Structure 1
Amino acid sequence: MNKCFRVIWNKARHAWVVACEFALGSGKPGRSKRVVGASLALSMALLSDPSAALTAALEEVEEKNLIWIMQMHDPDASPLVQMGLLGAGLAAYEAGGGSAGAPYSMAIGDAATVDAGASDAIAIGKNAQVTGGAYKSIAIGADAMVDDVAGGMMGHQSSSSIALGDRSRVGKNSWDSVAVGYGAEVADNADFGVALGSFAKVQSSATRSMALGQHATANHANSVALGAYTRTDRTNSVAVGGRQITNVNAGTQTNDAVNLGQLTQTNQTVSGLAGSVSTLNASMTTLTGNALLWDAGTGAYKAMHGGLPGKITDLAAGTAATDAVNKGQLDSLASTVDIINNTGTRYFKANSTGTDASAAGVDAIAIAIGEAAKASTTESLAAGANAQASGMRSTAVGGSSIASGERGTALGHNASASGNFGTAIGALARTSAAASDGVALGFNASVSNGNSVALGAKSTTDRADSVSVGHGPLKRQITNVAAGT
């Protein structure tokens, strides 16, 4: 162990220095050792009894293997002790009125301060400060500060931060941050912030951000303000303050920046496409002028252009049901119709200017030889002028014939089958509505009873389930009747 055995006067420091056995006297070079201040208690003892206190101090210094510096505030004053002794290995260095209150720390300069919780910290310059629990931090420059709340090393503090430059500052809870330059600042709660340049600033909560340049400001998290007076306006961005970025290599990946050369090439390509589109638009205009146009009002295509009707030429003959037909096909059809109209169909002629026939029932068939024939029910047939088949599956053949009963049949002019399943054959022959299954055969034959037969002209029935061959005074014989069996 090195033994300290004497006190020597240091002209440069204006202080008495306790030197080890390897140190030389005044004017000779000596070997420096680690420096600690003496305790406040020892300072008071020196004031009251300097020789006794000095003897006690030397004994403690020798016992603990320490070096003791006594600062002289005035060359003519008694030596004063700045701080108390610290244990070996927990040394702190103070000079020029500084106060280093934490282990392994250093405070140099008038009112320079390292707080007790900021171990391994350095404060150099007038009023330079490392406060609270900002351990392993550095503040260099007049009024430079690494600021932090009071607390231990385990909390979230502004540890491992650097404030370099007059009035530079790293705020509370800004871990691993750097502020370099006059007035540069990393504000509170801005971990990993970097402010480089006079008055450069990383704003509060703008974590992982950088402000590079005089008065540059990073306002948002994970952003970069590059250049004097540049400010960021969103997170995850780089702002250059309206400056050009030069010497940018051409981008190759999806998220790469592109340079002007690439944009120029793209613009040339787009210009070429624009020319092609213009040509295409001109062609489309020409095509539109010559094309069929859809008319939403009529739901059809029209060939009218400029208000004048047009025509479609070179149209092939249609072959499928939904194909358009050309004039040649229509001319052929018109020729056939003319032939039929002029010469008629062999064995059949029809001519009428009266009311059209109508088939209104499902599966009804209307054949008009005359006018106003009408079949109004399912599977009915009306043939002849004013013939009417209104019964279900009925048949009326002859002018003004009527078949109104279900499955009724009326054949002859003015014949009428009104009963269901009735049959009236002959002019004016008729079966009444009450005479179902009746049969009237002959001119003016009439059946009034169900399941009866009126056989012969003017024959009538007077009872059901009977056959009549005459009426009143008109009687007929029935001849050629075979013997009953």
Structure 2
Amino acid sequence: MNRIFRVLWNAATGTFVVTSETAKSRGKKSGRRKLAVSALISLSSIMVSADALANAGNDTGKGIGTENGWIAIGEGAEADSTITTKEKVAEDPSKGYVAGAGIAIGYYSKASGASSTALGGYSLAESIGSVALGAGAHTTSTAKYSMAVGTNAVASNLYAIALGTNANASGKNSIALGRDTVSSAERSLTVGLGANAASLDSMAFGYNTSVTSDAANGIAFGSGAVTSAKNSVAIGSNSTATEENVVSVGSDALKRKIVNVGNGAISESSTDAVNGSQLFATNANVTQNTTDIAANTDSINQNTTDIATNTTNINSLSDSVTTLTDDALLWDAASGAFSAKHNGSDSKLTNLAAGTLAADSTDAVNGSQLFDTNEKVDKNTADIATNTDSINQNTADITANTDSINQNTTDIAANTTSINQN
């Protein structure tokens, strides 16, 4: 034969398998082919590192198999029936080795974890159920069910996944995707060249992005973005988030706008972002209010001046009222009348207009009206006195006339007697 492998039908598994042309079996059943690789090996070969492929081309055909359910292929790879499931092997370091149900393919590849798989030169799968795929890929003894895929990729914790050259996933349930990525905290995720997520539940996406160890739940998205505070997000190239519970789209040196933002709800309880059009409307109202306030300020200043004037007038009026109170007529309850007495002395009422003179008038009359009346009374008194004198004279004259009449009556009676006698 001119090739080192050949394909045969495996009746036990019902599949075609690849077997070494020169392989020799050791074990209880010498007639059984021991180095069998299923079609999975052919599929996996496209992902084996360059070193592993080179070694496959130079394979000396020394691969050896047993019945423990594992496979070893490649220079220095060895399968020994004394290696049983879950046993860690301590063999000659120049040889690859596998544990029970494991697979090691490649130059110095080692699958020491039960049911583990190491594919590629110097690949090492140390923990149960782990997969190390690529030259120098390594899943550590503490990394059960982990996966390291890529040259020198390392997965060193439970369920960790490292995918890419030099990718390193050391946090429990962490994922590192891309060259030189590092996910060192539990449930951390990195995607992109040089991305680093160092805190719990953190995520770093993009070239050289970083979430620091004190930034739990932080997210960095974009080339060079850095988040260094809890529960914060840095979005965009070289953005930084340095305060807790913030979303940053830039840095102290780099400012960005957020565009195409919908109208946020405006209410007492709203936490929505508002956009420029909403703020423009608010600014327009503020501008109008400023104008109105300025106008009101002028009015207020004028009112202040008017109030000062009114205060002066009120004070003057108050003084006048005080003076008027002092000079006003006061009610005298004892006499049931207003009194003009002040400071114990009687006072005059001056500048009193002429009151109406009529039978039903209740107006007060002034001195001039009373003076005119007094003049008339004095005139009447004088006239009455004159009339009295005249009356007295008339009475005297009447008395004299009565005497004369009486005398005349006597004379007439005497004359009548004389006439009668004549």
CA contact (8 A) 1:18 1:67 kept: no
Per the alignment, residue 352 of structure 2 pairs with none
| Counterpart-to-counterpart distance in 2, 1:113 and 1:136 | 13
1:248 equivalent to 2:261? Answer: yes
Deviations, residues 369-398 of structure 1 (Å, cap 9, x unaligned): xxxxxxxxxxxxxxxxxxxxxxxxxxxxxx
Letter paired with 2:257: Q
Residue 183 (structure 2) aligns with: 170
Does the 8 A contact of 1:90 with 1:103 survive in 2? Answer: yes
Q: What letter corresponds to residue 272 of structure 1 in structure 2?
A: Q
User: What is the match of residue 291 of structure 1?
Assistant: 307
User: Could you tell me how far 1:248 is from its partner in structure 2?
Assistant: 0.8
1:19 and 1:175, CA in 2 relative to 1: closer, same or farther beyond 3 A? farther
Q: Which runs of 5+ in 1 are unaligned?
A: 1-7, 11-15, 37-49, 75-79, 148-157, 294-300, 304-310, 316-323, 347-485
Task: Decide whether the 8 Å contact of 1:186 with 1:203 is kept in 2.
Answer: yes
1:140 to partner: Cα distance: 1.5
Could you report, residue by residue, the CA deviation over 1:388-434 in whole angstroms, capped at 9, with x for unpaired residues? xxxxxxxxxxxxxxxxxxxxxxxxxxxxxxxxxxxxxxxxxxxxxxx
Look up the SS of the partner of 1:195 in the other structure: strand
Indicate yes or no: 2:228 matched with 1:207: no
The alignment of Structure 1 onto Structure 2 pairs a total of residues equal to 268
Q: Which amino acid aligns with 1:68?
A: I
Secondary structure of the corresponding residue to residue 23 of structure 1: strand
Residue 146 of structure 1 contacts residue 161 of structure 1 at CA under 8 Å; is this kept in 2? Answer: yes
Please list, as runs of the form range in 1=range in 2, the aligned pairs for 1:4-43 lying within 5 A after superposition.
9-10=4-5, 20-21=10-11, 22-23=15-16, 31-33=38-40
Structure with greater helix percent: 2
Query: Comparing both chains, which one has the higher relative contact order based on Cα–Cα distances under 8 Å and sequence gaps of 6 or more?
Result: 2
Retained in 1: the 8 A contact 2:116–2:125?
Answer: no
Query: Are the structure 2 counterparts of residues 216 and 25 from structure 1 closer, same or farther at C-alpha, using a change threshold of 3 Å?
Result: closer
Structure 2 distance, partners of 1:270, 1:115, is: 66
| Secondary structure class of the residue paired with 1:291 | helix
Which blocks of at least 5 consecutive residues in structure 2 are unaligned?
Answer: 21-36, 45-59, 78-93, 103-113, 331-339, 348-422
d(CA) in 2 for partners of 1:342 and 1:291?
A: 37
1:208 CA displacement: 0.4
Letter in 2 for 1:110: A
Q: 1:184/1:277 Cα in 2 relative to 1: closer, same or farther (>3 Å)?
A: same
* 1:422-461 superposed matches below 5 A: none
Residue 17 to residue 139, structure 1, CA distance change in 2 (3 Å): farther
Report the RMSD for the aligned CA atoms in angstroms: 3.9
Counterpart of 2:164 (choices 117, 124, 141) is 141
Alignment of 1:9-408 (within 5 A): 9-10=4-5, 20-21=10-11, 22-23=15-16, 31-33=38-40, 57-58=64-65, 60-61=66-67, 64=68, 66-72=69-75, 81-87=95-101, 90-131=115-156, 134-147=157-170, 158-171=171-184, 174-187=185-198, 190-241=199-250, 242-252=255-265, 254-292=270-308, 303=312, 311-312=313-314, 324=318, 326-327=320-321, 330-331=323-324, 333-334=326-327, 344-345=345-346
Tell whether the 8 Å contact from 1:70 to 1:81 is kept in structure 2 after alignment.
no
Q: 1:330 to 1:182 in 2, by over 3 A?
A: same
Q: Percent of aligned positions with the same letter in both sequences?
A: 24
Partner Cα separation in structure 1 for residue 133 and residue 126 of structure 2? 12
Change (3 A) 1:164 1:340: same
Deviations 1:174-221 (A, max 9, x none): 11111111110012xx11100001100000121101000111000101
SS of the aligned residue for 1:292 comes to: helix
Question: Following TM superposition, by how much is the alpha carbon of 1:271 offset from its aligned partner in structure 2, in angstroms?
Answer: 1.4
- Give the AA of the match of 1:72: E
State the distance in 1 between where 2:137 and 2:9 align. Answer: 26
Report deviation, 1:130: 1.1
1:331, distance to aligned residue in structure 2 (A):
4.5
Q: Report SS of the residue matched to 1:179.
A: strand
Tell me the equivalent position of 2:399: none
